[in-house]
Each structure stands twice: as C-alpha cells, then as structure tokens.
Structure 1
Amino acid sequence: MGIAAGQRSATETLWDHPHLNLPYMYHCHMLPHEDEGMMGQFVVIERGQEAEVGVPAGHER
C-alpha cells in the first residue's frame, strides 16, 4: 500500500484467534521508518478484555 508523505492511513482486519499473551508484530521495511515508530507489537483481544491489556484512552471501540 502506498501512502504519500503527510497522509494518514488505517487498516482494519479480522482475527479469528484472539490471544492476550501472544503479541503480533508490525513493521515498515524502510529502516528510517522503523526507527521513528513504524515497528511495534499488538495483541488481539475479545470484546470486554480491554481492561486486561490497558487500552489507551481514545482507542476504545
């Protein structure tokens, strides 16, 4: 997916196997982007498990 400088993008996916203790990883293959935050981890949870993982304010669904 190509995104021009200054643009924002969002991706929504469906996960069939939520797991609180199994983080998935995302990253960008451009090394300067990795250094600036385009590399991280996330966990897939069921509805109602937000309190167990600490969802940041403003990211509730």
Structure 2
Amino acid sequence: MADGTVLVAVAVAVAERPEDGSATAGQMARIAEALRARGLRVRWAVRATDAEAVLRTEAGVAAAVVA
C-alpha cells in the first residue's frame, strides 16, 4: 500500500466535483477511486488558489493530477 495524498485539481470553465454527474466528473471520480484502492488519500481542488494552498501546506502530497 502506498502512503500519501494525491491532489486532484480540476480547472475547467465550470468547476466539477465527482458528484456533479457529468462525463468529466465521472471520469475524475473513477480515477480517484482507483487511487483510493491503492491506499492513497485524494484531495479535490477546483480553483488554482486552493490547489496551491494544498501543495504549500500538506507535506504528504505524493502527486498531483491536473485536468
């Protein structure tokens, strides 16, 4: 099992979250589930400023997925 957090930053015209039901949101939710299945924690950010804050403050970020 892996240790760490994966930051998922989704910056699109309309910020999407996994529960939004769109095709993009569904794909991001499937990616997040696959990461969780491997023991990683997933953090969502829908604004660049939020993503930057997570990267500055969380030492455990193992990777970032930007869409």
Compute the TM-score of the two structures, normalised by the length of structure 1: 0.27
Structure with larger Rg: 1
Q: Between the two structures, name the one with larger relative contact order (CA 8 Å, sep ≥ 6).
A: 2
Which protein has the bigger helix share?
2
Compute the TM-score of the two structures, normalised by the length of structure 2: 0.26
